[in-house]
Structure formats: C-alpha cells, structure tokens
Amino acid sequence: MSLTLVKNGILYDPKNGIDGQVSDLWLEDSKVVSAPVDSAKRPVRTIDATGLVVMPGGIDMHCHIAGPKVNTARKMIPEDKRAAPDIRRTSFSRSGTTGSVPSTFSTGYLYAGMGYTTAFDAAIPPISARHAHEELQDTPILDKGFYLLMGNNHYLMKQIAKGEIERAKTYVSWLLNAAKGYAVKLVNPGGVEVWKTTGGNIFGLDETVEHFDVTPRSIVRNLASIVGELKLPHPVHIHCNNLGIPGNADSTLETMKALEGSRGHLTHIQFHSYGGDPDRQSTFYSRVLELAEYVNTHRNITVDVGQVMFGETVSMTGDGPLGYFLHKVTGRKWFSGDTEMESGCGIVPITYRNKSMVHSLQWAIGLEWYLLMNDPWRIAMTTDHPNGASFLAYPEIIALLMDRSRRADMLGTLPDRLKQKCQLPELDREYSLYEIAIITRAAPARILGLPNKGHLAIGADADVTIYEPQNDIQTMFELPKYVIQGGKIVVEDSELRSSHIGKLLHTSPSYDEQNIDDIKTWFEEHYTIQFRNYPVDDHFLDRHEIVG
C-alpha cells in the first residue's frame, strides 16, 4: 500500500463545494482516501503543497488523438512535423513527434505535463475500433476512451425508418460492447451518407436522406431517446449539420429542439453558432446570444466549445462534406475517407489568421460561449483538438477567460469591423479559479457521467494537479508543479518523471443475445463488411473500467 500526503494545499474541488480552502489530501494506491486514524501509519511520500493550488486532474471530453483519421493526418503534414521539436527518449519514456498532431507517446506526455489526466477521442468508426484501441494502448499516462460514430450508420438509419426502435436499441448496445466504446456520437447526421453517395450534403433538419427515408431530426430524436433508455453515462454526443457555414445557427437550434427534452451534448458549439447567408462568407456574424439563451433555459442540453486559436493546425472530422468545403475555401491539400456503411472523414491543414474576419469571429464566438453561459456546469473547455487549436492552447484560453484586459489587448489586433458582428467587446465577465476548475474538471466529469473523476472526495480517482500561483495565469497552467495520475506521481518540479499506461474507460450496456442473430443475418445479406469484424479482443482490457 503506498500512502501519499499532499499537505496544506489550497484546494479547488467544485463538486464538493471547496473553493480555495487549505486542506490536506490523502491518496492510497489509485484513490483519494481519508486521513489514517492510526497515527503510526506514515505516508510513503509527502508533497508540501503550502501556497500551491490543488485541483483534480484535467479532463478533455472531446479531442482527436487516435484512430484512422488522426493517423492519416500525421502522415499528411511532414512539414509541420519537421518544424516542431521532437520529444527525446528517456529511461522511462519513449521518443515522439509533436506539432499539431503529436504521436501517441507525445500526446500522453504533453497532456500530463499540462495537468490533464483523462481524455476522450470523439469520433471512431466502429469497424476501426481495434486500431483506435491499439493507439490508445500506446498513449501513456491518460485514462481514456472513445465515442463511436453512429449518425450515418446504415443499419441504424434503416431501423429508424421502419420504426424498429427496439432493434436499433439492441444494436447500439451490442456495438458499444463489441467495440468497447464509451458513448454514441452523431456527426452531421444523414449528411455524410448523402456526401458519400451523391457528393451532396444535408442542410435542413427535415430533409430526407436519400435511400434511407430518415431525416437528421429523426436520427437525433431516436438516438437521444435510445441513449437515455439505455441509461448510458454520457448523453448522445452531437456534431450538428452545417458545421462552419454562415447561418448554421438555425439548424443548431433545430437540433436542440429535435432532442424533445431528452439529454443531449452539442459539441464544438462554436462552429455551429453563425448567422449570415450560407453563400456569402462576408455576411458571417455571431448568434451566440440567442443560442446560449436557449441552452441556459434548457437543462437537458450541455455543450463544449471547440475554441479557435490563431496559428497552424489540421482540421480532421468525421464530416466528409465539411472536409471538402474546407479544401475549397482554403485551397489546402485534402483527404477524404469513406468507411463503408457507417461513416466518412475529411482532413485539411488549416491556418487561423488574426487578420481574417472569419477566423477572428470564430475566436470571439468561442469566448462568447464561455462568457454567456450562466451555468458553468453545462459547458466544458475544448478546442476540438486539433480542429480549433491544439489542446496545448488550454492555458492560454484559461488566461483569456480570467483576464478581460488580456481579451481587450487581443481584440485590438483583430479587424475593426468585428465589433459590429459579435458581443465579445462588451462582455466583462472574468472566470474565477473555482469556475476554471468546473469547466476543465468537474463539469466534463459530470457531463460524461464519470463518478470517480473531476473531484477529490474520498473514493475519487487519485488524479491530482498542483499548480504554483503566478502573476501570469497562462504560465501557471502550462507548467504544473506536480501531476498525479492514478496515484502515481508523473510530473515533479514541472518535469515528467515517470510514465505508465492508464485505464480504458468504456460502457457495457446489456442486450439480449437472441436479438443479435437477425441483425447478423441482415449484415451477411447486405454488406461486405462482416459482422464478425467488429468485436474487439479481450487483450484490450488489461486495465479498464466499465462506467455506468
């Protein structure tokens, strides 16, 4: 038994109402424990946290760090890899490349070095689950999992069209079990299928998906309700139709309504909050005010932001037609993928410029979401890594939220007309450390349904980040002094000191084996992808936790 004492730290643990109180924290093996009653029981290790800020480990609830499109993006950007510093091998760690899309090893080290201890890849086609698991097994330190793409799944769309909702429910359960996924993800529901068959897309929530007789609205409504009935820990995770298109706030609002009161999580909401004419980029403006008002008054909805920051990155998305759109507007190289019968993908390198009106507005719109959501428990910090920016931008975003003069300085470098197109210049809210702890830890844990994460009460996972308060907030959050993951001290004096493989987090909803047989027959009759190619081998379960 290894007992660790974090002594005298200034604790921020919003789930337990702790707002900067000085307290000791005891850890034993991989859990937070109570102080030993037996005074003879001495900690093996004592960290003096006097004057230091102690928070639960950070949780990234939406990023792209594994699977086929991440791997393809790595291959597409040798110029980015060449320019970025490599991570050197040490006695306990492997070498790796960095840049917009770091290698698996680097991803784990960089997250941990920044105080993050849990991350979820947001878009894995079920047929590629084995590949994603292999990569996650090579992504050190983090506890992690992934969401399975189901918004353009042929079998599910056919069952929804026929009203065979029980059968759809069985299939969702089976798929999560077979692929060891964590949640149900919808990407441009219906639109990716239309792109794959005709090169088109879907724009309205009530447009019919050709050959399938479903609409985005029926896909959203039914899957939100199925996920609710299965009591999955995380609600349906939705990337709405029309990402990035001026005027898309209309379809975003309709998607929220399509939930019909079921819980739903709308991801990278920044990319879906635009006013204007779809055919004229110059008409682009922010509609966060009305969307945030809707979310503020509908407690079934949660969001993460997908903040854009200026610089080089790579966009990668399960939204095939969006990849093509970005290729057309940027002129950059483009990859398009088609995963037979269940999803697609698009990859395009992108440079966000502060001289561009569109990019400046995207930056402002992300910040508006943080500043206009009344309840920080229903919004999580994300950059949709690497789409809006690298996850390494989180400390800078935190600094922008905590310091309005820093926002004003940045606004001064952006196009003047921005002021007429958004509310950001008038917003003077500043986040407190307590609220930062909510949107980076406690809220994502709650939204994900992770009972042992995002807090520091007895029984919580021993994932702890210890920061040294500094005048520069960004530096404080970039270089935590200590990071503990699963009870192991991985960062000490701001340097990586050890590495291990964290847990896989997945769900395991029950289903009736008998009902699987007719699903299996259907697959054999309709598709070349064999049903048996889905199940992931048990060797992926060395270290895992079933949640829910």
List interacting residues with Zn ion (CB under 5 A): 122, 384
Nearest C-alpha neighbor of 181 from the set 446, 502, 507, 444: 507
Residue placing its CB nearer to Zn ion in the complex, 185 or 407 = 185
State in Å, rounded, how far the first CA of the chain is from the last one.
28
- As a whole number of angstroms, the distance between CA 416 and CA 361 comes to 11
Closest CA to 252 of 194, 205, 187, 318: 205
Q: Which is nearer to Zn ion, 384 or 435 (CB)?
A: 384
Which residue lies nearer to Zn ion by CB, 304 or 312?
Answer: 304
Nearer Cβ to Zn ion (121/396): 121
Sheet holding 335-339, edge to edge: 311-317, 343-352, 335-339
Residue 122 or 269: the one with the smaller Cβ distance to Zn ion is: 122
- The secondary structure of the chain in percent helix, strand, coil, rounded to multiples of 5, reads 40, 25, 40
Q: Which is nearer to Zn ion, 146 or 155 (CB)?
A: 146
Q: How far is the CB of 305 from Zn ion (least distance, A)?
A: 11
- Please, what is the minimum distance in Å from the beta carbon of residue 535 to Zn ion? 26
How far apart, in whole angstroms, are the C-alpha atoms of residue 235 and residue 225?
9
**Closer residue to Zn ion, CB minimum distance, 259 or 345:** 345
Distances (CA, A) of 294 to 267, 268, 320: 15, 16, 29
Question: Residue 403 is which amino acid?
Answer: D
Q: How far is the CB of 83 from Zn ion (least distance, A)?
A: 24
Cβ closest to Zn ion, residue 112 vs residue 122:
122
CA distance 410 to 288: 20
Place of tokens 């724009």: 203
Q: How far is the CB of 121 from Zn ion (least distance, A)?
A: 9
Can you read off the two tokens belonging to residue 369?
Answer: 């979401």
Least Å distance, CB 303 to Zn ion, is 13
Output the smallest distance, CB 307 to Zn ion, in A.
12
How many whole angstroms separate alpha carbon 333 and alpha carbon 240?
Answer: 24
H or E element, residue 25: strand 18-28
The minimum distance between CB 384 and Zn ion, in angstroms, equals 4
CB-count burial class (<10 Å; 0-12, 13-18, 19+) for 538: exposed
Least distance in angstroms from the C-beta of 317 to Zn ion: 6
Dist CA 545 CA 458 (whole Å):
18
Whole-number Cα distances in Å, 545 to 145, 180, 283, 504, 508: 10, 11, 48, 6, 10
Nearer to Zn ion, 122 or 379 (CB): 122
- 170 or 317: whose CB is closer to Zn ion? 317
User: Residue 503 CB, nearest distance to Zn ion (Å)?
Assistant: 22
Half-sphere exposure of 104 (CA within 13 A, CB side): 16
How many whole angstroms separate alpha carbon 357 and alpha carbon 348? 20
Q: Which two tokens stand for residue 106?
A: 């680097």
CB of 453 to Zn ion, least distance (A): 20
By beta-carbon proximity to Zn ion, the closer residue of 146 and 431 is 146
Name the minimum Å distance from CB 288 to Zn ion. Answer: 19
Tokens for 358, please give them.
Answer: 């569109």
Q: Which DSSP string do the residues of 243-305 spell out, in sequence order?
A: TT-TTTHHHHHHHHHHTTTS-EEE-SGGGG-EES-TT-GGG-EE-HHHHHHHHHT-TTEEEE-
Comparing CB distances to Zn ion, the nearer of 13 and 121 is: 121
Q: How far is the CB of 64 from Zn ion (least distance, A)?
A: 6
**Coil, strand or helix at 14:** helix
